[in-house]
Chain A
């Protein structure tokens, strides 16, 4: 019961004396208030801290332990031994992948695949959103939206299955090719087709969902700006270019930053589902390579070194994209 009475007394305290603390014995010492208020907040908010225990424990075990587990990139690891490895081996595994030609091959594959995806999948939702924005029939607009969001909710396994069915020798694409008098192409066995297939399925799955934030941003563009532009003699195209696009620019930049930051994580699972040894030369990316090296061939330390390298590049890219956009356009994620 004492906690209840404590709360009755102290709960409104942060509101009242937040900015100007007025403890009755403020003159006692410099270190006292800090310690005392920690004790105070523990007593007042212990239930909040108690609620946080499970989630924090979860994050520590399932997020932070693996982060620390990356030390096996610098340590010898014995299956069944400590998850942090047995003994230091220094940069042996880092040197190993730096001198590994396959690593650089998959690295450039990753950059190309990620770059293509960014190039195609970033602008298309903007275009689609602009087109949708011009639709005046509400019902029509809503139908198109519903249809285009749907692929987003499918498992990658289903998407891969659909891709395989469409591109199989009996599939629709080859039916069309044969209908036009061509030879059926085993697309999924051809390395030169992999990038197209990957980016195409990525567009199919993400373009509709990607419009949501742009459509939301479009509704916030001030209507009087259009009016002003029209009075100045701007036609529809000029209105779009000079009013609409600047209106959604912050959204574009935010999403661009997010995309650049995750650029190296090119859809690992999708590649894993769609590639096969015949297409490794274009399809194999860093994460699939480290998956095979680490978990199929059991070279865990080596794979951890590659994974750590990839994660660090990813972190640097998010931070620098954010920094650049803050400097150049004044918009940033945090």
Chain B
């Protein structure tokens, strides 16, 4: 017994410190940290996002030229279809009267492809993150309310989701683009208006499961208010789903923006990777085998989309402790 008392005395000092700091925020931070410590793919995904975010923020510094202004040679003519300097035959540029320092060459109207690529990350991330936030937030709130309260609220929200399911996505964006000026915000708006349907459905069903579990009843019995039950007990359990749908939405949004741009409904004043592909397609870059024009934006789209999936997957594994191997 004496020994036990000693052990406990020693412990008490230690663990007090530990639990003082055990706030919700800290827990969340640690959980996030854990995602990337455990899952190397998620870490890779994070690196990709961080990389593109840095590129987007420092675009004016990184990009050697303005992405929209055609580059001109000494005679004032556009430098059309210049190959990247590491592909071009030496001496060709001097003959044409310019210095070839284009990392990825120029377009058919003489714009610098590398600069376009750099600026394109801005559009992609803007669309990706805002759509992700919109989808995750709207979907989570709708799912929580519908699942927890049930009854009329549930019926109302879920029928609204049915309507959203009934609207085809790409045509919807095209219609929106027709109403408003072409802008990348159309894509964000359309995603926010429609894509909450998937996440809210899934989250609602998860809420239905969780609210029947006895730890929720236990909270009720110990006097927790409804808001506390929703946000302290249920919401954290469905958070990984929100994250998951959020990261998927990033991928979706970037893909959609690319599709819409490729179809030609985007703002010609904003460079995005999809727009670059459309530009390349229209100017027959493929038949000229100008892979330096097509592959980089494609690769960038692929990388960001993949990064989204990697992180989503990592969250799924870490935030459900039960799925973990013990």
Answer whether A and B are interacting partners: no
